[in-house]
Amino acid sequence: MKSAMKLIKIAALLAGFSMAGCGNLQSGSNGSGGADDGFVPVTNITGVNTSVTVGTVPLGGRVVPPDATNKTIRWSVLPDGDTEGTISGNKLTTEWPGLVVVMATVVDGKAVGENYTKKFNISVDPYVPVTSIVFRGSMNIEVGDVDLEAVVYPYNASYTDIVWSVKDAGTTGARIKDDTLITWATGTLWVTATIKNGIADGMDFTTNFFFIVSDSTPFPPPSP
């Protein structure tokens, strides 16, 4: 009888140890081994282009903090504005000036199953095309370096950044670096000024300029 009671006590004691071990294992799986460990939530979206011109433009957008677990921004147009727009990827396309309201969404941005969202008001300004590019300075130059400067008209054109390129170097060996024309020999050359999207969305404005390059070495004095 005593032996049987002793065996029952030992079995109960072993069962207690087994249950305690299972409890510790279960607690560990909900702690350091949980699915939410290391999750970094989104707290903000910055760097959004809120003033654009009619046409297709990138919206930009950066997730804060930069080490957030989920950083992909999904854009959509809300019916709150007074003009229409469509979005493909991160590019907004509009046809008329006005106000477009967009929503930025990061799926699971706050937590697993909870998205991060933020609305932005986008001001769409009328598109103003470039009408001319006027070169500042003489186009009769000497061999060496010449800074390329020009004025874009009208002053309020939607795009005014000029990209310079050599169209025909002739015998001058010309090249352009950092808006500086560099020539190595005398002759003539053509340089092109390009403003991307200067005429309309997807249509560049270009103007060609003709330069005459002379020798920078002074002529020797005449013989007596």
Backbone angles phi, psi at 7, to 5 degrees: -65, -40
Say if CB 142 and CB 181 are below 8 A apart. no
pTM flag (> 0.75):
no
Amino acid of residue 118: K
Amino acid of residue 204: D
Cβ-based neighbour number of residue 84 at 10 Å = 14
Alpha-carbon gap, residue 138 to 211, rounded angstroms: 9
CB proximity list for 130: less than 8 A, separation 6 or greater: 152, 153, 154, 157, 159, 160, 195, 198, 199, 205
Q: What's the confidence (pLDDT) of residue 216?
A: 72
Q: What's the confidence (pLDDT) of residue 22?
A: 44
What secondary structure letter does DSSP report for 13? H
Alpha-carbon gap, residue 190 to 210, rounded angstroms: 5
Q: Which domains does the chain have, with CATH numbers?
A: 44-125 (2.60.40.1080), 132-214 (2.60.40.1080)
Q: What's the confidence (pLDDT) of residue 3?
A: 52
| H or E, element range at 78 | strand 74-78
Length reported for the chain: 224
Alpha-carbon gap, residue 38 to 4, rounded angstroms: 52
| H or E, element range at 138 | none
SS3 81: coil
| Average pLDDT per consecutive 10 residues, the chain (224 residues; last block may be shorter) | 50 48 41 61 96 91 96 95 92 94 96 96 94 95 95 94 97 96 96 95 94 76 57
